[in-house]
């Protein structure tokens, strides 16, 4: 059996494809960093914004946050974790290969005006989103405290990058194999209870983590922004896939993460609804990933 790889498809259709993978780096076995040649996106993208890509012309659209730009080279950095069929395909596109679509920048950039002291709380691969935000605040001269959390030492990513842009960096692991043991709310609660004040807390990571970071901030009435990344298809608000409920003084409102976000006031987000909707396609995604993995294994052994 022969399964044509995304790379060979891209070479065959090279004339129609614009987006070259100029650098590829494996951060962890399931976490990949790509630098994509996309000059127009690189010229405009700001921290907090995202792109939507397709690996090939028959592929699904997936959103990935911009993890860095190099306007001079015209490249955009993205970091993704292999969890579904599309990210499994993307993992197999080598350096020098091409992807079909790379659309952006989408969404609104993270608000930085008037923020002189900020706490960035990142979890897991969400740290890839948090990192350029921390770097931007550092560039603007803000005092940056970064708390990054992972399940274990073998999943820690971007520590050096956070070190360079943070006045204070705390690394947490759930099992204590690296840094401090515990989740990211532990040092945040310690600092806030000791009287530490931040102009803004910005948290980016799994929904459950952001919910509890928000609850921790609420104990001290600390301002908090959360970065929402629900299911998206078109990135323009037309499909409605990324809708979420926010609770405001005027009542509940429906918002769309792709055009109204991805940043929202953490106190207003209905996390329970967002978590429930985020689990809807878990089994489908897992099965699609397994099928794609098996197809690649069969092709390799053919």
If asked whether residues 38 and 138 sit together in one domain, one would say: no
pLDDT given at position 292 = 54
Cβ neighbours of residue 245 under 8 Å, at least 6 residues apart? Answer: 252, 253, 254, 255, 269, 270, 273
**Residue 290 neighbours by CB distance under 10 Å:** 12
pLDDT per position as a tens digit, 158-198:
999 999 999 999 999 999 999 999 999 999 999 999 999 99
If asked whether residues 131 and 56 sit together in one domain, one would say: no
pLDDT given at position 246 = 85
Q: Which helix (DSSP H) or strand (DSSP E) does residue 17 occupy?
A: none
If asked whether residues 153 and 289 sit together in one domain, one would say: no
Range of the domain at 47: 6-106+281-301
**Beta-bridge partner residues of 226:** 203, 264
pLDDT given at position 2 = 38
If asked whether residues 33 and 136 sit together in one domain, one would say: no
pLDDT per position as a tens digit, 46-94:
999 999 999 988 888 888 989 999 999 999 999 998 888 888 889 889 9
Q: Is 143 exposed, middle or buried (0-12, 13-18, 19+ CB in 10 A)?
A: middle
pLDDT given at position 16 = 52
If asked whether residues 34 and 131 sit together in one domain, one would say: no
**Total of domains in the chain:** 2
If asked whether residues 147 and 163 sit together in one domain, one would say: yes
Residues of the chain with pLDDT under 70: 1-17, 230, 278-302
Q: What is the CATH number of the domain that holds 183?
A: 3.40.50.80
Q: Is 5 exposed, middle or buried (0-12, 13-18, 19+ CB in 10 A)?
A: middle
Q: What is the CATH number of the domain that holds 58?
A: 2.40.30.10
If asked whether residues 126 and 102 sit together in one domain, one would say: no
Q: What is the pTM of this model?
A: 0.82
């Amino acid at each position: 059996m022969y399964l044509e790889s995304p790379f060979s498809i891209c070479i065959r259709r090279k004339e129609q494809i614009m987006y070259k993978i100029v650098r590829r780096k494996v951060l962890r076995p399931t976490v990949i960093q790509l630098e994509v040649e996309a000059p127009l996106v690189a010229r405009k993208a700001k921290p907090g914004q995202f792109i939507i890509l397709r690996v090939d012309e028959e592929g699904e659209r997936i959103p990935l946050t911009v993890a860095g730009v190099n306007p001079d080279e015209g490249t955009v950095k993205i970091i993704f974790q292999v969890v579904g069929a599309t990210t499994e395909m993307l993992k197999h596109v080598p350096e020098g290969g091409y992807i079909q679509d790379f659309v952006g920048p989408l969404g609104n950039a993270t608000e930085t005006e008037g923020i002189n002291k900020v706490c960035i709380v990142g979890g897991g691969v969400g740290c890839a989103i948090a990192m350029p935000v921390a770097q931007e605040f550092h560039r603007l001269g803000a005092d940056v405290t970064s708390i990054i959390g992972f399940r274990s030492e073998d999943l820690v990513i971007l520590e050096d990058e956070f070190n360079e842009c943070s006045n204070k960096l705390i690394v947490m692991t759930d099992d204590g194999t690296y840094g401090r043991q515990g989740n990211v709310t532990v040092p945040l609660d310690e600092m806030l209870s000791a009287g530490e004040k931040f102009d803004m807390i910005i948290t980016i990571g799994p929904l459950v983590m952001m919910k509890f970071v928000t609850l921790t901030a609420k104990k001290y009435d600390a301002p908090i922004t959360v970065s929402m990344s629900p299911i998206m298809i078109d990135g323009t608000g037309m499909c409605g896939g990324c809708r979420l409920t926010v609770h405001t003084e005027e009542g509940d409102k429906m918002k769309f993460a792709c055009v109204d976000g991805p940043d929202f006031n953490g106190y207003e987000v209905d996390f329970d609804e967002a978590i429930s909707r985020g689990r809807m396609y878990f089994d489908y995604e897992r099965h699609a990933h397994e099928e794609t993995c098996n197809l690649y294994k069969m092709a390799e052994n053919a």
